[in-house]
Amino acid sequence: MAFTYSLAQYVAHKTNVAQQYTPQKHYRLPHPGQGILGPAPAIYASQHTTLPSAFSIMPPQDPTWHMDTGASSHLNFNASNLSTIFDKRLFPSVHVGDGKSIPVTNTGHSIIPSHHRPLHLHNVLVTPNIIKNLISVRQFTRDNNCTIEFDAFGFSVKDYLTRHILLRCDSSGDLYPVTKPSTLPIAFLSTSASTWHQRLGHPGDQVLRSLVSSRFISCNKEKSSHICHACQLGKHVKLPFHSSTSIVKHCFDIIHSDLWTSPIVSSSGFKYYVLFLDHFSHFLWIYPLRSKSDMFDKFLHFRNYVKNQFKCEIKSFQCDHGGEFDNNRLHTLFAKNGIQFRFSCPKTSQQNGKAERMIRTINNTIRTLLFQAHLPLPFGSKPSIWLPIS
């Protein structure tokens, strides 16, 4: 049998008699018992091999492996470069680029080390007359369950399933040699989507896709098969609330508000926070509180801020019937300034859904970051500690 190697033309071109070499067509492996152009007797085993004239004066042989997309099998000129030797020939000869054949003297295995796992070269054919050690890309990717991506600066070997880079080799010449793993490009590789997912506080896939499409962040082409365990623990969900039918045309027409109580007092003495969410713009203001009674002063602070910075008045205020909202001071203030109270029905938190959902979003982010950091119990890593309290 015989094989075709696209780098054989390069081999012949590098010899001192390259002017005697006339390129011919590349031929693939004929079926047993057939010649290149038709039926022929099986003479490979007994036929004397005549080397092309281009190999009569051999240039120095290079022990470096080279990736070759046109090679049908791996080629090596020296059996000492192999980790395992079989002392047998799978094929008596191989065809090179000009249609001539060169002998195969042995067969063996070799290994290319990488940072993640060894990459195997199975059934390497030992051909002393070749001057470049060739790796068949098709056989290599099949044996190692990987892919190879070529670019202008080298090539990358990636795991077929996870898309993780197993080996990166740089080259500046015409060929793609297997060099020592490159360390410089690693710093410039795009960060994986799972890393950005953790950096940005565990947002959803749609948020990440939007950031990538807007080129705010750069992610590699890794398949998103990773399941975030912290998200599973930190983002338990219920059935969705019904969408609100309220329609506004200006900022501060409706302000949604709610207060959340933490069972753990912060190092600064805060136990609560109150949020004010604008229905039109979805801008959010959060104020920490040491006690629920401080909510009235924080609302005055927020109202003055709106009047001074945005030159407008709050028209409606959506909240529940909590005592921090449903009290004489707020009723008097709202009646005096024409602000409409919009209370939700008792035990119907869905009617204050925007504020409720925003509290859950804030607490989900806090809780998920705590799981990621593996903080101990006193720091609030237990799920029930950070659940919203109605």
Q: Which residues are catalytic?
A: 68
How many other C-beta atoms are found inside a 10 Å radius of the C-beta of residue 260? Answer: 23
79 φψ region: left (φ > 0), alpha (ψ -120 to 50), beta (else): alpha
SS (H, E, C) the chain: CCCCCCCHHHHHHCCCCHHHCCCCCCCCCCCCCECCCCECCCCCCCCCCCCCHHHCCCCCCEEEEEEECCCCCCEECCHHHCCEECCCCCCCEEECCCCCEEECCEEEEEEECCCCCCEEEEEEEECCCCCEEEEEHHHHHHHHCEEEEEECCEEEEEECCCCCEEEEEECCCCCCECCCCCCCHHHHCCECHHHHHHHCCCCCHHHHHHHHHCCCCCECCCCCCCCCHHHHHHCCCCCCCCCCCCCCCCCCCEEEEEEEECCCCCCCCCCEEEEEEECCCCCEEEEEECCHHHHHHHHHHHHHHHHHHHCCCCCEEEECCCCCCCCHHHHHHHHHHCCEEEECCCCCHHHHHHHHHHHHHHHHHHHHHHHHHCCCHHHCCCHHHHCCCC
* Both tokens assigned to 229: 């365990």
